[in-house]
Amino acid sequence: MSFPFVVSLIVIRGSSYDEGALPQPSKPMGGEEMSETMHTIGTREQWQAARAELAELEAEQAERNEQVTKKRRELPWVPVEKEYQLGTEEGKKNLADLFDGRSQLLAYNIMFGPDYAIGACPGCTSLADGLDGTLVHLNHHDVTLVCFSRAPLERLAAYKRRMGWRFPYVSKYGSDFAFDFGLALTEEQAQKSPELQRLIADPPESLREWAGNVGAELKDGLRENPSWIAFASENGTVYHTYTVSAPDAFVAPYFGFMLERTPKGGPSGSEIRRKDEYEH
């Protein structure tokens, strides 16, 4: 079993933004001057024509997204036959208990392994920062939202208090749940991954910085897989219905989607930090 750890850690964990996503110099439209930001300056008519062209692409993408959503809903449901004991602030619970009376469970797997001495992945943390506002809406649409991590419950609870989160934060510590559902690699699986071993042997500087930010050696830190996972409950049976992992765009901090709609995007070289670690 292998996972897109190399790309996921570039996208999710807080390395520099991709300069290719930033505004780049382009040729003027019919002799227009370039602005100080090195972007094309045009007329309202030229903007409208370019916007209409973009709208066609956006419509094609929306149609494609509908097709993907339909395929996602058509995935077979797999019964979860194994019992798992998971740690919550109310005590041990099994998977069915986490639904909290609803029929759907959606969970985000935050990269926070037992060996992370400092805290969770900054990128995963910033994604989680955007979840609390969705709780009331999801609950009223028959969905319970939780987050998972493999670190012990007391460490998750402390980190939750530090970040000011309200969503349920569930510990998989001491359980096979993460390994059974592809949310983490065992030590043996990690050792058998040539891609992962190459990355550990010769990591880029940004990945070294990430390891320092979470307080874990790469051989341990990279075993966690940032993912969304969904379950359904029907007639007393829990079913696994969907999993998606980085580098899928859904597994990314939500302010990134807002930056995609801004003129300049994120500043080149900026890093995703925990919200209490920004200098100003």
Per-residue pLDDT tens listing for the chain (280 residues)? 333 333 344 433 333 333 333 333 344 445 555 556 678 899 999 999 999 999 999 999 999 999 999 999 999 999 999 999 999 999 999 999 999 999 999 999 999 999 999 999 999 999 999 999 999 999 999 999 999 999 999 999 999 999 999 999 999 999 999 999 999 999 999 999 999 999 999 999 999 999 999 999 999 999 999 999 999 999 999 999 999 999 898 898 989 899 999 998 876 555 788 999 988 7
Q: What is the pLDDT of residue 271?
A: 76
User: In the chain, where does DSSP find H-type helix?
Assistant: 5-11, 44-73, 122-129, 135-139, 153-163, 177-180, 187-191, 194-201, 205-214, 218-221, 255-259
CB atoms within 10 A of CB 218: 19
Where is 143: in which H helix or E strand? strand 143-149
- The domain spans of the chain are 35-74, 84-259
Q: Give yes or no for a cis peptide into 247 (omega within 30° of 0).
A: yes
CATH of domain 84-259: 3.40.30.10
Q: What is the pLDDT of residue 38?
A: 76
Residue pair 239/79 in contact by the 8 Å Cβ criterion: yes
Q: What is the pLDDT of residue 79?
A: 98
Q: What is the pLDDT of residue 268?
A: 57
For residues 182 and 11, what is the distance between their CA atoms, to the nearest angstrom?
A: 19
